[in-house]
Amino acid sequence: MNTVSHMIPEPGVFLLGVALFMFVIWDAFEAIILPRRVTRKFRFTRFFYRTSWRLWTLIISVVHAPKRRETLLGFYGPMSLLVLVGVWAVGLVLSFGLMQFGAGSAVLINNGPSGFNTDMYLSGTTFFTLGLGDVLPRSGLARFLVVTEAGFGFGFLAAIIGYLPFIYGSFATRETNISLLDSRAGTPPTAGELLRRHSYPHGLEALAILLKDWERWSAELMESHLSYPVLAYFRSQHDNQSWVASLTSILDTCALVIVGIDGACEKQAELTFAIARHAVADLAQVFGTSPVPLPQDRLTPENLRHIRDVLAERGLKLRDGEAADQKLTKLRNMYEPYIYSLGTYLRQPLPPWIPLKKGKDNWQTTAWAEVMGQVEKSAAAVTLDDHF
């Protein structure tokens, strides 16, 4: 006991540093390296995101301009990721500083007395591999701590360097299909518009291919966002698009096809619906957003009749009758309460079933609207002159 006390003059502080080190390392391991969802109720990373997201949305709520508010919400994902990495780094530096202090501040310093501030300075320069050399360990335990921290600091920085590109790679992969959906389902995407635009000859065959692509997309979304929930906070490039809205429109489309459209890919719709609903339910569980009833019906009887009429005009007959309506309601109840709760938490509204008004898709618009308007008028004038 005397030997231990001689080696570690402040064992309580030393053990506190060890506990903090284990806590930070385990949390970073679960967040970066462990490729599976962690079901433990308390995790620092989960607490960090839930707390900081609530605080950020509370601050953003005072901004009244929708576009500016959406822009500020888009800052949260990347910014929170960098802040979390910084918190981990500070925690590791503090843990080794506590261990050095608990070991008796056994260091040599060129100028000034040793103490906790010196231990923290040594820890910081060691963790970030600066190697300034103005503070040196002078006991075996202090040297061991310096070497250990240098190794963990190098490994931590290497893990972060590999972690960030993967996050942005997964984000880019997610957004590719969302961008492709723009010309196929409108902006924002809706099930009614998606089916209407696939009413051309062999369009239902193209719809089957699209749903198969979204079956894979939903599986990739579930795997990546369960392993790295921070991806859910990354928002799309355009404020009228989101992964929540796109996933909802695909689920809506699958529900309509499963109810029955003559010649449509019912089996593929069932497969896509299954994995998409699986993703929605699991992500709702990760973010603690329990399913809640929608405040108002997304698909009123009038809108459903309108969808049937529009599709009938295009040669697509959507099965009707009480049995079909009950089947559609049952399918909707399987995912709408989950996706609505998730979308409310992430501040990403659900799309309607049909376009609320006639508008242009994102690919048809440009920031240079006035200039392009003049160009289009000039082009039209040249065409008329040439024609007449």
Q: What is the pLDDT of residues 206-228, one digit of tens each?
A: 999 999 999 999 999 999 998 88
Segment 293-332, tens digit of pLDDT: 999 999 999 999 999 999 999 889 999 889 999 999 999 9
Where a domain ends, among 161, 192, 217? Answer: 161
Predicted confidence (pLDDT) per residue in 39-98, tens digit:
556 678 888 999 999 999 999 989 888 889 988 999 999 999 999 999 999 999 999 999
Q: pLDDT category, 7, cuts 50, 70, 90? A: low
Please indicate, yes or no, whether residues 154 and 214 belong to a single structural domain of this protein: no
Question: Is position 229 within any domain?
Answer: yes
Indicate the angle between helix axes 336-346 and 266-286, nearest 10 degrees.
50
Task: State the CATH number of the domain containing residue 38.
Answer: 1.10.287.70
pLDDT at 368: 60
* Shared domain check, 222 and 152: no
Kindly give the interhelix angle for 266-286 and 243-260, rounded to the nearest 10 degrees.
140
pLDDT at 8: 77
Q: Does some domain include residue 174?
A: no
pLDDT digits (tens, 9 = 90+) for 140-170: 888 899 999 999 888 888 888 888 888 888 9
Q: Which of 76-80, 342-346, 356-360 has the lowest mean pLDDT?
A: 356-360
Residues 87 and 48 in one domain: yes
Q: Count CA atoms within 13 Å of residue 281 on its CB side.
A: 9
Residues 151, 266 within the same domain: no
CB neighbour list of residue 377: distance below 8 Å, 6 or more residues apart: none
372 or 166: which leads in pLDDT: 166
- Residue keyed to tokens 């390296």: 33
Asked if residue 104 and residue 204 are part of one domain, the reply reads no
Residues 6+ apart with CB under 8 A from 133: none
* pTM for the predicted model, two decimal places: 0.84
* Dist. CA 286–CA 269, nearest whole Å: 26
Answer yes or no: do 42 and 151 share one domain.
yes
> Is residue 170 included in any domain, yes or no?
no
In a domain, 371, yes or no: no
* 213 and 353, same domain (yes or no): yes
Check whether residue 126 and residue 207 sit in a common domain.
no
Q: What is the spatial distance between Cα 153 and Cα 91, in angstroms, rounded to a whole number? A: 12
Statement to judge: residues 185 and 290 lie in one domain:
yes
Total count of domains within the chain: 2
For residue 306, tell me if it sits in a domain. Answer: yes
Is residue 187 in some structural domain?
yes
Domain encompassing residue 81: 2-161
Q: What is the DSSP letter of 187?
A: T
The candidate with the shortest Cα–Cα distance to 221, out of 266, 176, 182, 156, is 176
- Say if residue 197 is in the same domain as residue 147: no
Last residue of a domain, one of 131, 161, 191: 161
Domain match, 136 and 256 both: no
Q: Are residues 122 and 192 in the same domain?
A: no
Is 382 inside any structural domain? Answer: no
In a domain, 384, yes or no: no
Query: Which residue, 161, 196, 216, sits at the end of a domain?
Result: 161
Residue 285, pLDDT above cutoff 60: yes
pLDDT of residue 2 exceeding 50: no
